[in-house]
Structure 1
Amino acid sequence: MRVRPLALALVAAVTVAVAPAPPAAAATPDRWGFAAVWNPTVPAGTTLDTTRQWGSWRAAFPALWATGGKLAVGLFRVTFPQVASGTRGTVHVTAVSRAGNYCEVFRWGSAGADEIVDVACHRPGGILADTPFTIMWSTSSGVFPPGAYATAQVNTAGAAVQWYNSTGAGAPGTGLLTPGRYLVRIPGVGVVGAGLSGNVQVTAIQPNAVARRCKVESWSPVGLEIDVVVVCVNAAGALTSTDFFITYHRQRAVFGAVDVPKYFGYIWSAGGGQTNYNHQLGFGANGVGMLAGGTYEVKYPQIGIRETNTHVTAYGDGPNYCGLGQPWVNAGSDALVNVMCFDNTGNPANYRFLSTFTSRH
């Protein structure tokens, strides 16, 4: 990888901060939810697609569903009922757009018994634009094998505001390398001798709903540690210091669960080995094929079961980015995910990415 020598040189010089420990509690995840917003113009309180949502509240409140509604142009609020956790937890959002629109988190917290997440979406050039998207929120605590699951919220200065690590290995080391470039060292989650393993997802946070994007520039194993370099840009594609969420998951669903769901997987389009995992079929079962310039189909065999959710994060240097080109399809028991990647002007561009997919079942 041509970016890695520079990244490793910067790593040697960066001051790495360690975040305070999260509160101890039961097995992960404590609370979670996922949903899809196909029509970003619906009014507040609209029930979101019930075939593409689920959450931890469903066990105690089976009649309740995640709802949503437009706040203003390009701004949308998702409400997960009965799981209020304040500003704890991690959020990932992925735009669904063939025109190169992209989305970020700009606010989240509790409203009574509910957890709300406000999402901002922009078209190329940075103008707010109503855009379909997928969303996942999860908060976790406690030590719970197997596999590994780690999350962090990192601020513009490179400090971890909150974090979680299912292995009990402790806080991530985080730091600002240069403006807009961050190092996140996640301890205890890798597999010695396996090279890269698992999957990484990154989502920008911008509290004023100004256009920002974040992605993985490079990642590498160091013993049991996974080191990730995250880069963030503004609407012009220039490196810009930005808050972000990061999730690492290995043989776990992206929201952190272990035994349920049993139908999940992930793949890195630039690699193989243990970065391609299917919980039903094992390593190497998922596939990526190019449909057209900048457009790809990811096939997840035998895990497109019941309510599902998917996310994608671009991988590499430069301002290019990726999202979903259209809603995913459950074809029999297979899941077919359409990924599109773009240059900074919103034109389709061949690029690399990390994809993750999960059912609630």
Structure 2
Amino acid sequence: MKSFKWSALALLAGSVIGCGVPEGEEPESVELGEQQSEIARGTAVPNGTYPWAVSLHTGATPSTANLQCSGSHIAPGWVLTAQHCFDSNLDGVISASEFSANEIWASLDRTRISDTSRGQVIQGAQVFLNNTNDLALLRLASPSSAPIVQLANTIPAVNAAVTPAGWGLVNNSGTVPDNLQQGQFRVTGSNALDLFYTNVNTEEMCGGDSGGPVFTQVGGVVQVVAAHTNSPGGCGVSTGNATGSRVDVALPWIRSIIPAAYGFVWADQPSSTATYTPSSYYSHNSTGGTNTITRTAAGSYRVEMPGLGQNNGNVQVTAYGGAGNRCKVSSWGPIGTTLNVYISCFTLAGAAVDSYFVAQYYRAGAGNPEQGAYLWADQPFAASYTPSRYYSYNSRGGTNTVTRIGVGAYQANLPGFTLIGGNVQVTAYSYGSQHCKVASWGTNVVDVRCFDTAGNPADTYWTLRYTDHHVATNGQRGAYAWLSDSTSATSTPNSWYQWNALGTPLTASRWGTGSYTIHIPIIESYDKTSAMVTAYGYTNTACEVSSWYSGSAGGTDVNVLCRNATGALADSLFTMSYITNL
């Protein structure tokens, strides 16, 4: 029999003192077949609320009989919980008598354990122990479509309201709820590793909820501040402080385990009949794999990125050169552990054509404090819908939605964002010759416009990526800008919508009709760099990157050409994003 050092019966009987546990409090661990304890006299959470909350159990078919711990879905396919759910004595080793990752299953996006009409149940695959604090990360065997929750980078002040949530016992009689429970608590203090909180009314942490989220809500944005670890003895009222392991102090560890994954290429041999490795100066794979490109037909390509193969993330594509071609993403998905991205390129008349292009793939990690989102708009004719959650991400935990406001006119809603600025890239999707662009964006709304080859509005699929003060990972160099003046010889892009990881402002030059240079000071272009551009506005202009290189004054110059539907160079606003692995 698998067993933890402390059983639920012991927890209900009274206090024990264990490894790393404050006197008078105890870690919430259970023996197989016994029940994890919970919030006594708590409130049932309405169905569909906190869809990122996770129930961890020992069977593929979830029930209150096999409930073990709670957790939070913090990145696609990753759960934050307590270390002692796997390592009961907190010695840093998961022994044969403790639970391994693949013995635990996660129920996601299920307020009620028994509700099989929604959510997913996914087996665990790998567990990472913090060993400094009582925290663990569980990697699931496959990504989840459940929403994620934001992680806090600070702790709430004393007396601030916090809400713990989870499943388990709700009284001293051993009653286990089917429905997720929550309670009202207030912060009483903290130390270097832990947050302390106590009940506001009569609810009480009932010696359980191991790994469950303790969170705040500010401006409608939920932030997990701690994972619950220890409770006062018994299920009484006001019997002492509950304890949670602080998330903010663990963020560097979380980010190191779940970094953002990304890859990019510059297709520099568009007519090659053999698979080739693109220039390493302009190609990168965050997993260390070597990207390759295969031309499968005229204007059609397959980009292979080893190690990045998952059914999620986001792809953006732009044509490169001066021919006025348009390139787009046709599809992407995994073949084993390799990500295959399919690209299609067309002339202005809509004919398939061999073309240079730039392609970027990005998959969010965990714990990025900046705003970020992406989505694949997969229902071009629907009036309003929630796009596939496998390919949708919102760093604030909101559920992205798309609304069709007319032929070829769409609005992406990214709830939870509160800051003005950032950068948006949009690419048309599918095998047709349509193209899409950013029309405008505000705090949490992005307008998108799509057109056919004649420049008429056209319904089509598309992908969108939004970043704010980052371009891939929060520690990576990069830059972006929205060209907010398309007619002046020189200009400085709007300060709200430009960013340079090294701090120096970007500038813009116009060399002639539809011909521009964005200058990025300090950041050089000589190794593993990538530039992306999307036209901006409500007209049918389209833009491409014509080149980028280290400028004579230092830094990088990104050159952009914009054209109207007839192929003539035309002045246009646009957004540019630049990424480097340096």
Alpha-carbon distance in structure 2 between the residues aligned to 1:121 and 1:184: 25
1:141 Cα shift? Answer: 4.7
2:287 counterpart letter in structure 1: W
Q: Give the fraction of aligned pairs with identical amino acids, expressed as a percent.
A: 27
1:249 and 2:467 matched? yes
1:238 matched residue in structure 2? 456
Query: Over aligned residue pairs, what C-alpha RMSD do you find?
Result: 1.8
1:55 Cα shift? Answer: 1.4
Candidates 371, 388, 395, aligned match of 1:166? 395
1:317 Cα shift? Answer: 1.1
Alpha-carbon distance in structure 1 between the residues aligned to 2:532 and 2:452: 21
1:301 matched residue in structure 2? 521
* SS state at 2:295 partner: strand
1:268 matched residue in structure 2? 482
Candidates 302, 315, 330, aligned match of 2:550? 330
1:189 matched residue in structure 2? 417
Candidates 352, 375, 387, aligned match of 1:152? 375
2:282 counterpart letter in structure 1: R
1:37 and 2:235 matched? no
1:227 counterpart letter in structure 2: V
In the TM superposition, 1:62-77 aligns within 5 A as: 64-77=289-302
1:246 Cα shift? Answer: 0.5
Cα deviation code 1:258-305 (max 9, x no counterpart):
11x1x21111111512201111015xx001110111100110111125
1:238 Cα shift? Answer: 1.2
Candidates 454, 474, 482, aligned match of 1:258? 474
1:275 counterpart letter in structure 2: Y
Give 4+ residue runs of structure 1 displaced > 6 Å after superposition.
none
Alpha-carbon distance in structure 1 between the residues aligned to 2:396 and 2:368: 7
Over alpha carbons, which structure has the higher Rg? 2
Alpha-carbon distance in structure 1 between the residues aligned to 2:340 and 2:567: 29
1:214 counterpart letter in structure 2: C
2:358 counterpart letter in structure 1: T
Alpha-carbon distance in structure 2 between the residues aligned to 1:190 and 1:350: 31
Alpha-carbon distance in structure 1 between the residues aligned to 2:415 and 2:363: 19
Report how many aligned residue pairs link the two structures: 317
* SS state at 1:79 partner: strand
1:219 and 2:437 matched? no
1:145 Cα shift? Answer: 3.1
Unmatched runs of 5 consecutive residues or more in structure 1: 1-19, 59-63
Q: Indicate the structure whose relative CO is greater, using CA pairs within 8 Å and at least 6 residues apart.
A: 1
TM-score, with length taken from structure 2: 0.52
1:56 Cα shift? Answer: 1.5
1:279 matched residue in structure 2? 501
Structure in which a larger fraction of residues adopt strand: 1
Contact 2:536 2:574 in 1 (8 A): yes
1:61 matched residue in structure 2? none
1:291 matched residue in structure 2? 511
1:78 and 2:299 matched? no
1:29 Cα shift? Answer: 4.7
1:52 matched residue in structure 2? 282
TM-score, with length taken from structure 1: 0.83
Alpha-carbon distance in structure 1 between the residues aligned to 2:564 and 2:415: 33
